[in-house]
Structures are given as structure tokens and as C-alpha cells.
Amino acid sequence: MALRTVLEYPDPRLRTRAAPVTRFDAPLADVVRDMFETMYAAPGIGLAATQIDVHQRIIVIDVSEGRNEPVLLINPTLLSAEGDASGEEGCLSVPGIYDEVKRAARVRVRAQDVKGEWFERDCEETLAVCVQHEMDHLEGKLFVDYLSDLKRLRIRKKLDKGRRERAARSGAGGARRAY
Ligand code: ZN
């Protein structure tokens, strides 16, 4: 197992559209293990393979307080999305930045597990938002894309400044959670 480096905005590799997973083999299981390890270590509540420069449709999530309810979604598609959940989002690829994004409050997702078995799952609240956030990553989309040009410019400046000051701090946003 190994911690992977998380790409940070505005790295152009974050704009890559991920390809479907077609081989459910040992290398896939290794990537999944590394993704969980990297997400838990960050710490974050979700991670898309895109963020570690692996351009396959793989998402890991754990929104539980105990950090013991791992969710793996391979080749996910949304079967339905309803309701409004507007909340503050953060992202491990946009460290220290949090802003409001409009999402659906409930989604039903269809995905494969590490062995390629299909399943469906109903997701609500933070889990629903996280699924939508991570699925955006697989399309090369970031939560800051929903914000105004001016806000994005400010974020880029802040991140540049943050990178210069990185040595003094860890990337976490206090009690707030990033994915
Ligand atoms: Zn993210």
C-alpha cells in the first residue's frame, strides 16, 4: 500500500475525463487500496482516481464519523437525483477553500464493486453530495467551476500563496471536511 500524491488545482491533469474500468484484477485492487489510504490520511471524506492521476472511473468515500464505513464506486452512474442540498464544499485538490455549491439532496447510484459486481445504492445528505462531487472529478470538473470567475481568481491567488507557506501548516481545513 502506498500514499499517492493528490493533484492540486489548477493542475491540468484534473481536467482529464476518466475511462471506464474494464479489468477487475489485482492492479485495480491495489489502486483502490491506495485511494482509501490516501483519503483517510489526508484526511478527506472522498477521493476520485482522477485526483491521484489515475484516469479510471473509481471513487472512494467514507462520510462516517468513525471512519469505518468505506464506500467504493467503480463506473458509477446516477439513476436518479432529487431535492436540493446547498452546502459548503471543500476538495482535497483545492486545499483550504470552502464554498457553497448546489447539489441534489438524494441520489440513486449504480456502480460496480472491486470484483465487477453491479449494485445500486440510495444516498442522502453528505453521502449524496460527495457522490456528485466525486463523479464530477471523473468528468474533469471541480467544485470551483460552479463559482464565479472572480471567486476562482481569488482562489488561485490564495492557493499560490498557500503553497509558499505550506511548510508551516497541514492542508486540513480545521473541522471542515474536504473531498
Ligand atoms: Zn474533490
Sign of CA dihedral 16, 22, 23, 28: positive
Q: 8 CA distance to ligand 1 centroid (A)? A: 10
Could you say which of 69, 134, 139, 165 is catalytic?
134
The residues with which 80 forms a beta bridge, in sequence order, are: 108
Q: Which amino acid is at 120?
A: E
Q: 73 CA distance to ligand 1 centroid (A)? A: 15
Q: 167 CA distance to ligand 1 centroid (A)? A: 22
pLDDT in tens, 126-149: 999 999 999 999 999 999 999 999
Task: Provide the pLDDT confidence category of residue 100 given band limits of 50, 70 and 90.
Answer: very high
Average pLDDT, the chain: 94
DSSP H helices in 68-170 = 125-138, 149-165
Question: Domain 12-168 falls in which CATH fold?
Answer: Peptide Deformylase (3.90.45)
Q: Are 51 and 14 in contact (CB under 8 A)?
A: yes
Domain boundaries, the chain: 12-168
The residues with which 121 forms a beta bridge, in sequence order, are: 109
Query: Residue 25: is its pLDDT beyond 90?
Result: yes
pLDDT in tens, 112-124: 999 999 999 999 9
What pLDDT, on a 0 to 100 scale, did the predictor assign at position 177? 84
Q: 92 CA distance to ligand 1 centroid (A)? A: 5
Give the integer Cα–Cα distance in Å for 59 and 47. 6
Active site residue 134: yes
pTM of the model: 0.93
